Structure 1
Amino acid sequence: MDRLDAMRTFVTVVSEGSFTKAAERLAMSPQLVSKYVSRLEQHLGVRLLNRTTRRIHLTEAGATYHQRAQQVLSDIDDMEHQLGDLQTRARGRLRISAPVSFGIRHLAPLVSDFQRAHPAVGIDLQLNDRKVDIVEEGFDIALRIGRLKSSSLIAKRIAPIRLVLCASPEYLARHGTPRCPEDLKAHRHLRYSYMEPEAGESVFRWLPGRGRPAEGDLVSNNGDVLVEAAIAGAGIALQPTFIAGAAIRAGSLQVLMPDHAPEPMSLYAVYVHRQLLASKVRCFVDFLEGAFGDPPYWD
């Protein structure tokens, strides 16, 4: 028995939900499919599937083996695709979703550099701060900032993202400088509407309503708007340094309570399963790795 063939047959049976459909997909007889799975179970010494007349069900051992087998087969396919890509130029249209402020400030120059290195790739860059559905909306790759939850997508960490609490010197001269989180109750806040609740928890947990907008606050779904408002003296903002860093270095904004800053987040490149990865996507992910540095150049 070829173990890889048996492993691939088993994974196909699970994904198709039946021996008959797996046989059609693999262009072999249902009897041979059943034989492969049975021999795999004999080899492993465990039952992988419980079979009924209508359905198949993974056993506990089968579920564990299925997960690992998928990864092994994916790695093999990925290796073969990479070897094939050595002879294939990246080409076609690459659809990218990225956050608005990050895309304008830090991604636009890199896209031009990437196209100079890969002239056969066309770029469709869509900027939006909401989390797009990559598959449903037809994106090849999405750049996301945060702490990603587990999903069926592949996430490649590209760079750390640091958040700082900041305000203009003029605002602080008028309203005082907060020294501890409880002091924030007396201030106006410039809030990013898409911020994950846990991102600002360490500084906003002291506020009435656990940091929900209060009277006099400014709320926006764009970080650049909030940073400009902070520079103008409108209040205190919690923003990433890739937006606020230049104003901080210029003295237009002052970092507050650095000891209470939230844990850093990350910039991720998110894309579909590796075994389906096109050369244009792999080349772009490889291009992004190390492009910003660690720590990134904006810090």
Structure 2
Amino acid sequence: MDQIQAMRTFARVVEAGTFTHAADSLQLPKATVTKHVQALEERLRVKLLNRTTRRVTVTTDGAAYYDRAVRLLADFDDMEASMTQARATPRGRLRVDVGTSVARLLIIPQLADFQQRYPEIQIDLGVTDRTIDLIGDNVDCVIRGGELSDQSLVARRIANLEFITVATPDYLARHGTPAHPLELESGHRIVTYFSPVSQRRYPLEFHRDGEVIEVANNAHLTVNESNAYVLSVVAGQGIGQITTLQAQQHLERGELVALLPDWPQPPLPVYVVYPPNRHLSAKVRAFVDWAAELFARHPLLQRG
């Protein structure tokens, strides 16, 4: 039995929660995954996993073994990386997940630069506004906006996104230009965003001198994907709040007009996030550093 492979397989089953998901992520037959774990249990003479028809759970001995195995595998990978100069030339397949607007406006247009720097890294790029389970979905790192809820993950803050309230010239010609946020509660149509996961509807938010005003009651349209949200505002559906990054081209072309500049919304922090057991990976480090550099040099992404 290849003990290192068996340890990797066991760790993936623990992280994925099922033999089927682990087999899919490892691109191995399910029978092979089962065989590796069984051989490991026989070698150790302990039960590592409790198996049910739907899910596996780790035993007390299995949890202790997993913690030490993850550290050992990370040290082993780091040792191999240093011996093969992988730090200078990172290699392997990298699974990254980013939001739809960030993918369209930042990552994909600049991805050729990353590939030129690191030609031996192959990227699987997931694009979605949904929250990803990094461990369960076997994702190496994500770029996400908003405060982090899972404190067990490693996060590096790389930017802040500023928001701007906008509408089309045609919409303003028909409905008038508001001078105060409260005017949006009647006589205006607004476009809001709702979470594709929690279904929470986010109001338009305005801040000034400690005063906070939220407007959502008369939302004419609510959208759960950021590119579709921007297109809805550009199509004249109503007043919305988008990032300056999303708004830039539309403002320059005269397709949108900035409103209520004295009532900004607080900036949204942006993080690149990865599981703690992957902190030694050369390919993850390469992408994290590249993403931080990409965001830092963009004039519309204030740092803080």
Do these two structures clear the TM 0.5 threshold for a shared fold by scoring above it?
yes
Amino acid at match of 1:193: F
Deviations 1:268-296 (A, max 9, x none): 11001166431100011111122133663
**1:97 and 1:142 in contact (8 A); partners too:** yes
**1:155 and 1:270 in contact (8 A); partners too:** yes
Partner of 1:251: 254
Q: Distance in 2 between matches of 1:219 and 1:199?
A: 10
Tell me whether 1:219 sits opposite 2:217 in the alignment.
Answer: no
Partner of 1:175: 175
Distance 1:193 1:82, change over 3 A: farther
Task: Mark the structure with the bigger radius of gyration.
Answer: 1
Deviations 1:82-133 (A, max 9, x none): 9938922311110011101210221112222111111111000010101111
Which piece of structure 1 moves more, 198-207 or 143-152? 198-207
Amino acid at match of 1:272: P
Find the partner of 1:241 among 240, 244, 263: 244
Partner of 2:119: 119
Partner of 1:202: 206
Q: Report how far residue 157 of structure 1 moved.
A: 1.3
Partner of 2:190: 189
Distance 1:206 1:109, change over 3 A: closer
Q: Distance in 2 between matches of 1:285 and 1:267?
A: 13
Q: Any idea what SS the aligned residue of 2:222 has?
A: strand
What runs of 5+ residues in structure 1 fail to find an aligned partner?
Answer: 1-54, 56-72
**1:160 and 1:296 in contact (8 A); partners too:** no
Q: Distance in 2 between matches of 1:92 and 1:265?
A: 32
Q: Distance in 2 between matches of 1:119 and 1:206?
A: 47
Q: Any idea what SS the aligned residue of 1:282 has?
A: helix
Q: Distance in 2 between matches of 1:287 and 1:148?
A: 21
Find the partner of 2:271 among 265, 268, 271: 268
Which piece of structure 1 moves more, 219-228 or 160-169? 219-228
Amino acid at match of 2:148: L
Q: Any idea what SS the aligned residue of 1:259 has?
A: coil
Partner of 2:13: none
> How many aligned residue pairs are there?
221
Q: Any idea what SS the aligned residue of 1:260 has?
A: coil
Aligned residues with identical type, % of pairs: 33
What runs of 5+ residues in structure 2 fail to find an aligned partner?
Answer: 1-59, 61-70
Q: Any idea what SS the aligned residue of 2:294 has?
A: coil
**2:144 and 2:271 in contact (8 A); partners too:** yes
**1:160 and 1:295 in contact (8 A); partners too:** no
Q: Distance in 2 between matches of 1:261 and 1:155?
A: 26
Q: Distance in 2 between matches of 1:143 and 1:85?
A: 30
Q: Distance in 1 between matches of 2:223 and 2:83?
A: 43
Q: Distance in 2 between matches of 1:133 and 1:201?
A: 29
Distance 1:200 1:175, change over 3 A: closer
**2:193 and 2:201 in contact (8 A); partners too:** no
Amino acid at match of 2:195: Y
Q: Report how far residue 201 of structure 1 moved.
A: 3.6
Q: Report how far residue 173 of structure 1 moved.
A: 1.3
Tell me whether 1:154 sits opposite 2:154 in the alignment.
Answer: yes
Partner of 1:103: 103
Partner of 1:143: 143
Find the partner of 1:293 among 293, 296, 300: 296
Tell me whether 1:280 sits opposite 2:278 in the alignment.
Answer: no
Which piece of structure 1 moves more, 110-119 or 145-154? 145-154
Distance 1:298 1:268, change over 3 A: closer
Distance 1:81 1:272, change over 3 A: farther
Partner of 1:84: 82
Q: Any idea what SS the aligned residue of 1:108 has?
A: helix
Amino acid at match of 1:231: V
Alpha-carbon RMSD across the aligned residues, in angstroms, is: 3.2
**1:90 and 1:118 in contact (8 A); partners too:** yes
Return the structure number with greater helix share.
1
Distance 1:163 1:288, change over 3 A: same
TM-score, with normalisation over the residues of structure 1?
0.65
